[in-house]
């Protein structure tokens, strides 16, 4: 058996030296050559009678290479397992390690040195600070607005000729004009629809009360609120591709049609359209469903933002020594920065320790629930009748057969359990905000998250 020497070089690094004597290698090589000779069919020799010296010349180096790989792997990982050495990455050949010359005709002693990255010792403490947790403010004004929107969505539409009003959908044609205010020959002409509630105040005021056939001159970038150049080019002017240049000058806007929606009454027909299952049958049930559905979606985003803050607090304030030089070698061919890579390692250490301390494990039931959640997400949040328990179990089983999908599913499921547990441990303060403010918070969070990913 090879001789293995463990040398701890710091609190988070060590080396393993594997010494294999030439006598041991030669003995194992001869055994493999004898095995090969039994089936070797070489020209000029009877089967099984080829000289060992000939076989050594022909296949000795390949066999010796296989022997060394096997001996090294068994010795390296066998020592780590037997002695319960906690490593955070697979061992790497030492930087100063010289290449081994494999020569079956002249077998030599072999000494291979491997660098190890050891799991750091650290104290895990749940943050004591109070975290802000944003929740949706679903007051009467919010629900009234959602009911009004639903009545419009499920109402009847009709075409009118006169008097543009709030909530109308206006069909318009944009025509490119030259400096003299005349249509550009071969220029841009595009028909599209505008929602009066989305218009800039100045244009909305100008269009209100106007009829089909009304014309005015506009700057297309000042037609709708909060529109981007990309949106204007694609949806208002019909230009394909982000590389298309924004045309200069004014456009003629001509009203081609007016669509008016008559809000639906809150009657039996409305409730059947809103909820075919029949669970919602009156306005009280409708308002309750709106409150629950909207709160669930926004509050899930609130949980995600809270999770990010908890993770950030733990990573930045948990004292932990890492094997920096080892990590540099692991990360040298990656696009991410070393700082970002180290943050990921710190979180991996923290989450694993937290799961260990709290005995959090992923069960088959957890996997089925995660698979169901993934499927329902793919269905837009709905669960059709065919998406039954048997289908979900089969879907989860197929995912578990694929190693990559299995590892990702288990990782995400355990992460979810860890964060649910952490959210229950830390102190939080609920801050109720409107949907508009919530969307702004989500936007700010996404920008901060993107910046942290790019560092």
Domain boundaries, the chain: 3-117, 130-137+279-454, 156-262
Nearest to 416 by CA among 363, 452, 379, 455: 363
Cα separation, 24 vs 385, whole angstroms: 66
Q: Which long-range contacts (CB under 8 A, 24 or more apart) does 339-347 make?
A: 339/455, 340/452, 340/453, 340/455, 343/315, 345/88, 346/315, 346/318, 346/320, 346/322, 347/311, 347/314, 347/315
CA distance 29 to 62: 10
Predicted confidence at residue 243, as pLDDT, reads 63
Q: What angle do CA 165, 171, 176 make, to 5 degrees?
A: 120
Q: Which of 446, 449, 445 is nearest to 340 (CA)?
A: 449
pLDDT along the chain (455 residues), means of 10: 91 94 88 82 74 82 88 92 94 82 82 94 94 91 88 88 92 95 93 92 95 95 86 88 79 95 91 90 93 86 94 95 93 85 94 95 84 72 70 78 84 93 95 89 82 61
The yes or no reply on domain 156-262 and CATH 3.90.1150.10 is no
Side by side, the strands of the sheet bearing 110-117 are 3-8, 13-20, 110-117, 92-93
Alpha-carbon span 448 to 455, nearest angstrom? 11
Tokens representing 148 are: 């009004």
Compute the distance between CA of residue 331 and CA of residue 337 in angstroms, rounded to an integer: 8
402 phi and psi angles, rounded to 5 deg: -90, 120
What integer pLDDT is reported at residue 404 of this predicted model?
Answer: 86
Q: What is the pLDDT of residue 402?
A: 81
> Which tokens is 394 given?
């089969």
What does the alpha-carbon distance between residue 319 and residue 337 come to, in Å, rounded to a whole number?
Answer: 21
- 107 touches 65 (CB < 8 A): no
pLDDT at 2: 84
pLDDT at position 242 is 60
* Homologous superfamily of domain range 3-117: Trigger factor ribosome-binding domain (3.30.70.1050)
| pLDDT given at position 176 | 95
**Cβ burial, residue 115 (10 Å; 0-12/13-18/19+):** buried
pLDDT of the residue at 190: 95
CA separation (Å) from 337 to 172, 193, 346? 50, 46, 14
pTM: 0.67
What per-residue confidence (pLDDT) applies to 74?
92
Q: Does domain 130-137+279-454 have CATH number 1.10.3120?
A: yes
């Amino acid at each position: 058996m090879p001789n293995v020497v463990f040398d701890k070089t710091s609190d988070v690094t060590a080396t393993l030296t594997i010494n294999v004597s030439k006598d041991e290698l030669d003995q194992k090589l001869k055994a493999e050559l004898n095995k090969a000779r039994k089936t070797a069919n070489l020209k000029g020799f009877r089967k099984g009678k080829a000289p060992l010296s000939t076989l050594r010349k022909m296949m000795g180096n390949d066999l010796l290479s296989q022997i060394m790989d096997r001996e090294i792997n068994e010795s390296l990982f066998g020592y780590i397992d037997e002695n319960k050495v906690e490593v955070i990455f697979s061992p790497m050949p030492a930087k100063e390690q010289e290449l081994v010359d494999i020569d079956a005709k002249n077998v030599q002693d072999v000494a291979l040195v491997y660098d190890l990255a050891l799991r750091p010792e650290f104290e895990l403490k749940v943050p004591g600070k109070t975290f802000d947790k944003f929740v949706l403010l679903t007051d009467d004004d919010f629900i009234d607005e959602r009911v009004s929107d639903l009545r419009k969505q499920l109402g009847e539409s009709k075409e009118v000729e006169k008097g543009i009003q709030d909530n109308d959908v206006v069909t318009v044609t944009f025509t490119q004009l030259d400096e003299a205010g005349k249509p550009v020959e071969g220029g841009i002409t595009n028909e599209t629809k505008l929602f009066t509630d989305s218009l800039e105040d100045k244009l909305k005021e100008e269009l209100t009360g106007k009829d089909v056939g009304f014309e005015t001159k506009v700057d297309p970038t000042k037609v709708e609120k909060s529109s981007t150049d990309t949106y204007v080019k694609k949806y208002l002017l019909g230009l394909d591709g982000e590389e298309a240049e924004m045309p200069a000058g004014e456009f003629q806007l001509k009203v081609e049609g007016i669509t008016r929606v008559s809000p639906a009454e809150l009657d039996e027909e409305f409730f059947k359209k809103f909820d075919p299952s029949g669970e919602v049958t009156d306005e009280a049930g409708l308002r309750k469903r709106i409150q629950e559905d909207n709160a669930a979606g926004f509050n899930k985003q609130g949980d995600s933002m809270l999770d990010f803050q908890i993770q950030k607090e733990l990573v930045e304030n948990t004292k932990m020594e890492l094997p920096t030089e080892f990590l540099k070698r692991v990360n040298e061919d990656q696009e991410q920065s070393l700082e970002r890579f180290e943050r990921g390692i710190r979180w991996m250490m923290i989450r694993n320790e937290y799961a260990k301390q709290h005995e959090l494990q992923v069960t088959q039931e957890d996997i089925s629930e995660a698979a169901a959640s993934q499927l329902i997400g793919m269905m837009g949040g709905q669960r059709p009748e065919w998406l039954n328990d048997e289908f979900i179990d089969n879907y989860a089983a197929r995912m578990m057969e694929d190693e990559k999908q299995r590892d990702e599913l288990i990782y995400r499921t355990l992460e979810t359990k860890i964060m649910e547990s952490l959210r229950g441990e830390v102190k939080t303060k609920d801050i109720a905000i409107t949907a508009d403010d919530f969307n702004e918070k989500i936007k700010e969070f996404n920008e901060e998250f993107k910046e942290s990913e790019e560092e």
